[in-house]
């Protein structure tokens, strides 16, 4: 999407020139002129983006604009960063200083010429607009924008009944049954599934079904979509339901206030037997705004809604029914494809039909059972008569079924097929790339850019574009996958936009790159997935192919810790990746996550200046002078930290660590790694503390009394010597840990007994115990944990493992747990404690 690229580049260049204006004084005029040209172009790109899928010449024009915008960003930032690095080196003598100035002068002239050349390219492209019949689109001009046009074109209507519908018979039958039954009937029926499955088509079939028409007295169909007004939706339903209303009555309703119109619709639906279709609801907020006009009391009316958002589909209504629409199977896919793609002429050659069927079945695998994808592909092939034409489509099948996808989704394409990616990693990439900005922050909110990015990802999950893999300990989404078809579309869009290069196994002996997404030339984002045979990151093949890595902005290497590879010497020329002198923490104003920093190499006062810092992992490795005064002066900033991890080993490390902990009273997550006999007494006053990890702390036995009084603690992890090795018994007393939901105990090898009293941990639902070789039996009190849903036990004494088998003497303690995972027992021959 060229419009998005140009907007992104303009913002990037604007931000850079503001920050580094003093270093760009020689070319500021040229930069300003180039920016103006791009801004003038923006109004035309909406129309061009909408048309490039149907017009090859427009697609080429759009590609040229996009490349020019990227080139402008590269030239300005590459030059600017070089000048910045020179200014910060602190040249020591006059000769070097004059040499540097001379070199900078040459660079200024060259960079000015390059910017002017790019500006001329953009200007020439703008002057050719008329030739391509590309028109300017402005939201405020009174005309219809491409987005509005798209919304209008995809808007559904009740009277339009599709032909050649396949695979919906059983779905229609089930929905009709739920709609017309009188006993245990549903007030809300939700049809849910990913885009392109045929939700609207199914709703139409049901809407016009004979039994449904006989059952209900009046009907209304409204397409909600993304651009809607609550008042218009309510009025539209009223006008359809009260079809006999006179012109005067309709005018009277138009004169009502929003509250009055909602009450009117509420009463009508309550008294009459109506079926209302709300097609294509995107967000739960939309439903929450609309539902005020729908009866929440006993009524014979029914709301049927379609959505790709799971939250909308699973409404908190006891009379709601959820119908999840599934993809077509292989036979259904072929049936739909054949109806659309192959002529019904009787004289079709059997040999040609057989070959077309063979090619068609291969192409259908890429559609994954999505009717929309099948129809798009079949529509292309319906106009192609020869087998050779079908073969050409087969060679580029993925391009024919691709549709527009945004940059956030493009980024998902760099993950391998069926790969589960970490949400935290993806959202950080979005933020680092500038795809998320604080301008998208909700008014008055203190949320971070990572929070906003997570919201976007959640939206993609709810729309079925992203599939949930694993959940974290706090039930948040930790890992995700993307549907193969969605991934294909992401990669195709990334290729069109020159957004991403993705390579597998770039070792020297590889004959070809398994997946390559990008045209030869400049690469801005590179993802490399290494296998065990890889010996270098970039092979000579890539160098000879003419790839230019100098403007690389993102380099992501998977499995680098599992193999030994040679780093290319050219990595030092990558100006956007290499360090710009010494790291100055105080300048990183937008930094949110700072991990593995050592007090030996950083100034804690600088950390205190990071006003957006939310996650801090620090290693106290040297004595810190005036720490108390420093913490007082930076207290307001440190109190914004949500996740804190402190590692300490030195003699007075415990005292210093506790001072840091005491300055971060807003934390949600705390990790302590190092010896500490006693926890701070004020810990129970931390209002947000929900997750606590203790590593090698050697706590006194009585410290459990402090832990179990933490009111909001939901996750507790005790690892290797969390309690002192002389501890004889761990006691979880009655009323202790009132909010704890997950307990993980690992590698506490010296503790021989564990007691759980009745009334302890009343909310515990997950328990994991491993590597605790001192225990010979589980605590009897586990039978009191009635909310326990998942128990994992592994690498414990063989004696304990025997006792908890189904025929074991201790099985009664855990027999009530629905999910039991009993792993291998501890083998002294394999592991030393």
**600-623 per-position pLDDT tens digit:** 766 677 777 787 888 888 888 766
Of 278, 302, 324, the residue at which a domain comes to its end is: 324
Indicate if the pLDDT at residue 517 is higher than 60. Answer: no
pLDDT digits (tens, 9 = 90+) for 419-438: 677 888 888 888 777 777 65
Residue found by looking up tokens 């957006």 in the block:
612
- Kindly indicate the confidence band of residue 512, based on its pLDDT and cuts at 50, 70 and 90: very low
pLDDT band at 16 (very low <50, low <70, confident <90, very high): low
Are residues 179 and 81 both part of a single domain?
no
Quick one: pLDDT at residue 456?
A: 81
Q: How many Cβ atoms are within 10 Å of 572's Cβ, its own excluded?
A: 10
Per-residue pLDDT at 97 exceeds 50 = no
Per the listing, tokens 């021959």 go with 829
Which comes out higher in pLDDT, residue 815 or 590?
A: 815
Q: How far apart are CA 438 and CA 310, in angstroms?
A: 27
Mean pLDDT of 156-167: 59
Q: Is residue 570's pLDDT more than 70?
A: no
Q: What is the pLDDT of residue 786?
A: 92
Whether pLDDT at 762 is above 90: yes
Do 367 and 383 fall into the same domain? yes
258 and 351, same structural domain?
no
Whether residue 283 is found in the same domain as residue 317: yes
Structure tokens at 531: 């296998």
Residue 356: which residues within 8 A CB-CB, separation 6 or more? 341, 342, 387, 390
- State the Cα–Cα distance between residues 71 and 496, nearest whole angstrom: 16
Residues 319 and 335 in one domain: no
Q: Is the pLDDT of residue 367 over 80?
A: yes
Q: Judge whether residue 747 has pLDDT over 50.
A: yes
81 lies in some domain: yes
Q: Look at residue 769 in the predicted model and tell me its pLDDT.
A: 92
Average the pLDDT over 267-271 and give the result: 90
Predicted confidence (pLDDT) at residue 67 exceeds the cutoff of 80: yes
How far apart are alpha carbons 434 and 428 in whole angstroms? Answer: 10
Q: Is the pLDDT of residue 153 over 50?
A: no
Whether residues 392 and 318 fall in one domain:
no
Q: What pLDDT digit, counting tens, does each position of 404-418 carry?
A: 334 444 465 555 555
CA dihedral 535, 538, 543, 549 (to 10 degrees): -160
In a domain, 536, yes or no: no
Taking residues 716-720, what's their average pLDDT? 91
* DSSP letter for each residue of 98-120: HHHHHHHHHHHHHHHHHHHHHHH
Q: Which of 73-77, 123-127, 301-305 has the highest mean pLDDT?
A: 301-305
Is residue 125 domain-shared with residue 247, that is, in the same domain? no
Give the residue, 693 or 629, on which the prediction is more confident: 693
Paired with 793 in beta bridges are 769, 822
Percent of the chain at pLDDT > 90 equals: 13
220 shares a domain with 349? no
Is the pLDDT at 186 greater than 50? The verdict is yes
Tell me if 332 sits within 8 A of 217, measured CB to CB: no
Domain CATH number, residue 301: 3.40.50.300
Q: Which domain holds residue 755?
A: 585-822
Tell me the per-residue pLDDT of 379-396, one tens digit each, with 9 for 90 and over.
Answer: 778 767 788 888 877 876
Pair 188, 122: CB distance under 8 Å: no
Residues 78, 110 share a domain:
yes
* Nearest Cα to Cα of residue 397 among 411, 412, 381, 417: 381
Torsion from C-alpha of 208, 214, 215, 218, nearest 10 degrees? 70
Q: What are the residues whose beta carbons fall under 8 Å from the beta carbon of 312, sequence distance 6 or more? A: 190, 192, 281, 282, 283, 284, 286, 287, 305, 462
Determine which helix (DSSP H) or strand (DSSP E) holds 743, and give its type and residue range: strand 742-746
**Residue 575 pLDDT level (bands cut at 50, 70, 90):** low
Q: Would the pLDDT of 140 be above 50?
A: no
User: Percent of the chain at pLDDT above 70?
Assistant: 70
Tell me the CA end-to-end span of the chain in Å, nearest whole number: 58
Beta bridge partner(s), residue 525: 554
Average pLDDT estimate for 742-751: 88
Minimum mean pLDDT range among 393-402, 504-513, 575-584, 672-681:
504-513
Over residues 348-371, mean pLDDT: 85
Q: Is pLDDT of 581 > 50?
A: no
User: How far apart are the C-alpha atoms of 222 and 201, rounded to whole Å?
Assistant: 14
Q: Are 50 and 43 in contact (CB under 8 A)?
A: no
**pLDDT at residue 785 greater than cutoff 90:** yes
Residue at 32 is within a domain: yes
Q: Of 374, 400, 426, at which residue does a domain stop?
A: 400
Q: How far is CA 350 from CA 341, 345, 357, 361, in A?
A: 16, 12, 10, 16
Instruction: Mark whether 598 and 746 lie in a shared domain.
Output: yes
Three-class SS state of 815: coil
pLDDT band at residue 400 using 50, 70 and 90 as cut-offs: low
Burial 589-620 (b: 16+ CB within 10 A, else e): eeebbbeebebeeeebebbbebebbbbbbbbb
Q: Mind listing the pLDDT tens digit for each residue in 466-505?
A: 777 777 666 678 888 776 566 766 776 676 666 776 665 4
Looking at the domain assignment, is residue 475 inside a domain? no
User: Pairing state of beta strands 479-482 and 421-422?
Assistant: antiparallel
The predicted pLDDT at position 6 comes to 75
**Other residues' Cβ atoms within 10 Å of the Cβ of residue 392:** 11
Q: How many structural domains is the chain composed of?
A: 4
Contacts of 543 (CB under 8 A, 6+ apart): none
Tell me what pLDDT residue 671 has. 93
On whether residue 495 sits in a domain, the answer given is no
Are 611 and 735 in the same domain?
yes
pLDDT for the residue numbered 149: 35
Distance between CA atoms of residues 547 and 541, nearest Å:
9
Q: Are 623 and 649 in contact (CB under 8 A)?
A: no
- The CA distances from residue 355 to 24, 342, 667, in Å, are 63, 12, 65
Does 433 map to a domain?
no
For residue 528, what are the β-bridge partners?
Answer: 503, 557
Helices 28-51 and 56-87: angle between axes, nearest 10 degrees = 150
Same domain, 29 and 134: yes
Average pLDDT of the residues of the chain: 76
What CATH number corresponds to the domain at position 745?
Answer: 3.80.10
Beta bridge partners, 671, equal 645, 693
Provide the whole-model pTM: 0.54
d(CA 376, CA 396): 14
User: Of 746, 436, 736, whose CA–CA distance to 590 is shortest?
Assistant: 436
Residue 564 covered by a domain: no
- CA atoms within 13 Å, Cβ hemisphere of 730: 24
Longest dimension (CA), the chain: 95
Q: What pLDDT is attached to residue 636?
A: 65
Torsion of CA 591, 595, 600, 601, to 10 degrees: -40
Q: What are the phi and psi torsion angles at 494 (to 5°)?
A: -65, -35
Contact 667, 689 (CB under 8 A): yes
Two tokens, residue 564: 């030994």
Assigned token pair, 719: 């690892």
Assess whether pLDDT exceeds 70 at residue 226.
no
Examine residue 336 and state whether it is found in any structural domain, yes or no.
yes
Among the candidates 97, 112, 142, a domain finishes at 142
């Amino acid at each position: 999407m060229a419009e998005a690229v140009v907007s992104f580049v303009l913002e990037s260049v604007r931000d850079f020139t503001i920050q580094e204006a003093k270093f760009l004084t020689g070319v500021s005029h040229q930069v300003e002129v180039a920016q103006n040209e791009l801004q003038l172009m923006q109004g035309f790109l909406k129309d061009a983006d909408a048309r490039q899928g149907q017009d090859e010449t427009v697609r080429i024009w759009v590609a040229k604009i996009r490349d020019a915008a990227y080139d402008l960003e590269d030239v300005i930032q590459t030059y600017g960063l070089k000048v910045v690095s020179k200014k910060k080196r602190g040249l020591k003598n006059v000769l070097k200083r004059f040499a540097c100035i001379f070199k900078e002068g040459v660079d200024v002239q060259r960079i000015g010429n390059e910017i002017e050349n790019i500006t001329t390219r953009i200007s020439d492209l703008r002057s050719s607009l008329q030739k391509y019949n590309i028109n300017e689109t402005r939201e405020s001009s009174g005309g219809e924008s491409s987005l509005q046009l798209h919304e209008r074109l995809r808007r559904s209507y009740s009277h339009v009944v599709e032909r050649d519908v396949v695979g919906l018979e059983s779905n229609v039958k089930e929905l009709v049954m739920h709609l017309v039954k009188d006993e245990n009937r549903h007030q809300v029926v939700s049809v849910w599934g990913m885009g392109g499955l045929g939700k609207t088509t199914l709703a139409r079939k049901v809407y016009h079904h004979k039994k449904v028409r006989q059952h209900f007295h009046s009907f209304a169909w409204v397409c909600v979509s993304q651009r809607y007004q609550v008042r218009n939706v309510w009025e539209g339903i009223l006008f359809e339901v009260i079809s006999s209303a006179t012109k005067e009555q309709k005018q009277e309703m138009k004169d009502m206030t929003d509250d009055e119109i909602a009450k009117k619709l509420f009463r009508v639906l309550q008294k009459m037997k109506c079926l209302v279709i709300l097609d294509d609801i995107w967000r739960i907020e939309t439903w929450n705004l609309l539902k005020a006009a729908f009866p929440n009391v006993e009524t014979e009316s029914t709301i049927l809604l379609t959505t790709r958002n799971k939250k909308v589909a699973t409404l908190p209504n006891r009379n709601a029914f959820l119908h999840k629409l599934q993809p077509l199977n292989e036979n259904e896919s072929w049936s739909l494809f054949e109806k659309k793609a192959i002529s019904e002429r009787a004289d079709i050659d059997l040999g040609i039909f057989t070959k077309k069927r063979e090619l068609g079945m291969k192409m259908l695998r890429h559609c994954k059972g999505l009717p929309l994808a099948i129809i798009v592909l079949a529509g292309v092939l319906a106009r192609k008569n020869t087998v050779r034409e079908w073969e050409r489509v087969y060679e580029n099948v993925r391009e024919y079924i691709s549709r527009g996808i945004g940059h956030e989704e493009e980024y998902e394409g760099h993950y391998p097929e069926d790969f589960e990616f970490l949400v935290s990693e993806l959202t950080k990439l979005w933020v680092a790339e500038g795809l998320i900005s604080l301008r998208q922050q909700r008014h008055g909110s203190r949320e971070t850019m990572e929070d906003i990015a997570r919201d976007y990802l959640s939206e993609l999950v709810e729309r079925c574009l992203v599939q949930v893999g694993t959940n974290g300990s706090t039930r948040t989404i930790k890992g995700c996958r993307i549907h193969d078809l969605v991934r294909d579309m992401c990669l195709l869009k990334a290729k069109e936009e020159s957004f991403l290069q993705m390579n597998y196994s770039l070792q020297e002996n590889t004959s070809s790159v398994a997946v390559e997404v990008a045209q030869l030339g400049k690469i801005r984002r590179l993802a490399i997935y290494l296998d065990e045979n890889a010996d270098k990151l970039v092979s000579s093949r890539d160098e000879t192919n003419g790839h230019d890595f100098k403007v690389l902005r993102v380099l992501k290497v998977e499995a680098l810790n599992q193999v030994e590879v040679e780093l290319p010497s050219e990595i030092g020329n990558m100006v956007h990746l290499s360090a710009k002198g010494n790291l100055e923490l105080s300048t990183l104003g937008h930094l949110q996550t700072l991990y593995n920093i050592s007090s030996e190499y950083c100034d804690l006062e600088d950390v205190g200046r990071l006003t957006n810092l939310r996650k801090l992992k620090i290693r106290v490795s040297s004595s810190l002078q005036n720490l108390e005064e420093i913490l007082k002066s930076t207290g307001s900033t440190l109190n914004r930290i949500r996740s804190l991890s402190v590692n300490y080993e030195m003699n007075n490390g415990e005292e210093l660590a506790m001072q840091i902990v005491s300055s971060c009273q807003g934390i949600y997550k705390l990790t302590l790694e190092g010896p500490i006999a006693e926890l701070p007494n004020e810990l129970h006053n931390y209002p947000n503390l929900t997750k606590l990890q203790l590593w090698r702390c050697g706590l006194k036995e009585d410290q459990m009394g402090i832990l179990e009084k933490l009111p909001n603690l939901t996750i507790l992890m005790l690892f290797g010597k969390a309690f002192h090795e002389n501890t004889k018994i761990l006691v979880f007393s009655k009323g202790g840990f009132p909010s704890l939901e997950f307990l993980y105990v690992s590698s506490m090898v010296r503790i021989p007994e564990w007691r759980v009293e009745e009334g302890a941990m009343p909310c515990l639902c997950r328990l994991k115990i491993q590597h605790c070789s001192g225990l010979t039996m589980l605590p009897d009190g586990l039978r009191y944990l009635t909310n326990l849903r998942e128990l994992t036990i592994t690498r414990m004494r063989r004696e304990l493992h025997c006792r908890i088998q189904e025929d074991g003497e201790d099985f009664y303690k855990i027999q009530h747990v629905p999910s039991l995972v009993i792993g291998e027992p501890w083998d002294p021959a394999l592991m030393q404690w």
